Structure 1
Amino acid sequence: MEKRILVLGIGNLLWADEGFGVRCVEALNAGWQFPPQVTLMDGGTQGLYLLPYVQEADCLLVFDAVDYGDTPGDLREVVGDQVPRFMGAKKMSLHQTGFQEVLMAAELTGKLPAELVLIGVQPEELEDFGGSLRDVVKAQMAPALNLALDWLERWGATGRLRDSEAEPITDAALAIDLYEGERPPADQAYRLGDARFLNLEAA
């Protein structure tokens, strides 16, 4: 019987390197096509809303930016029961707490995927609202995709290079080229939040 495979990219595109997971699953979808038992999904920051999709999968592969305390840009491949532990290593944002809870809930209901893989990168910058991936993190996308393709092949779902344009799995307005190209310069759009409130701390 064919394994049902879920490939999730999680994180927040709006906070620089937090968008690594979503950018990876976007690129995988844009470059390759897979057998019908494979679902590629932008999991964003949806947390427990992802539970039914995780429960239906036999194999789960997650792309994410995870703070391991490593050198920025370091890539890690985490397998099996280590995945939930690493998802909670250092919570950078609410999405990681939420996804750790998804895995716990799937386990409690007896529907945790039999095979778990996390392909994670150490972020360089998170405090940059509206920013994109830093170069050291973006450079790890190709190695991350190669790892994912190897796992998918191992699970019986070999990817084929696309011969036609893919249906995007995220909003077209957030496509990386458009997102990066239309960002206003720093003197027009403050990067770190609302300066009026930040200045209150110094007052």
Structure 2
Amino acid sequence: MALVKIIGCGNPLAGDDGVGLKVIEELKRWGLPPGVRLISAGLPGLTILDLMRGADQVIIVDAVEAGQKPGTVIHCKETDLARVTFRSLSLHNIGIAEALSLGRLVEPEAFPRRLDIVGVQIAEITWGKADLSPLVAAALPLAVHTVYNILKGGGPYA
């Protein structure tokens, strides 16, 4: 059976930056098919490469600053990161895009066959706040549905 890892990233005490972790919480409630493992990674930096190891498919869920309307859900493949102005917030020691590029260069055989990124455009980062802003919270169901679509083989869009 293929192993799929869904990795939620973010700071749970920085407002909208915690959206990746909230998506993981929602996925736990909704249930997932066999062979899918959920990981709440927090602020992984380069550790994300270790978290991905052994998976056939990885879906990374994170807050993004992509110049879109707050709450916009963006889905892209790793190869589209440069084309789509998708960049992870710099709250992680090293951004997700940079970590993936480094990992692909240094250890390409350890990368999953399929890597998707689901981002939710933030409205604000508020230190010490555990709640999401209303527009980002309202995007949680769409972000969860996007993950399910990917699991069914759905393609990226932005």
TM-score by length of 1: 0.67
Q: For residues 38 and 46 of structure 1, what CA distance do their matches in structure 2 show?
A: 20
Aligned length: 152
Unaligned regions of 5+ residues in structure 1, if any?
Answer: 156-203
CA contact (8 A) 1:6 1:61 kept: yes
Q: Does 2:82 align with 1:104?
A: no
Query: What's the counterpart of residue 60 of structure 2?
Result: 62
Residues 52 and 117 of structure 1, relative CA distance in 2, 3 Å threshold: same
Percent of residue pairs identical: 27
Q: Does 2:113 align with 1:114?
A: yes
Give how far 1:151 is off.
1.5
The structure with more helix, counted as a fraction of residues: 1
Q: 2:70 aligns with which of 52, 72, 80?
A: 72
Query: What's the counterpart of residue 8 of structure 2?
Result: 9
Residues 13 and 60 of structure 1, relative CA distance in 2, 3 Å threshold: same
CA contact (8 A) 2:46 2:94 kept: no
Detail structure 1 runs of 4+ shifted over 3 Å in the superposition: 85-91
Q: For residues 34 and 120 of structure 1, what CA distance do their matches in structure 2 show?
A: 22
Name which structure has the greater RCO, CA cutoff 8 Å, separation 6+: 2
Unaligned regions of 5+ residues in structure 2, if any?
Answer: none
Query: What's the counterpart of residue 142 of structure 1?
Result: 141
RMSD value, Cα: 2.3
TM-score by length of 2: 0.84
State the Cα deviation string for residues 161-190 of structure 1 (Å, max 9, x = none). xxxxxxxxxxxxxxxxxxxxxxxxxxxxxx
Give how far 1:101 is off.
4.0
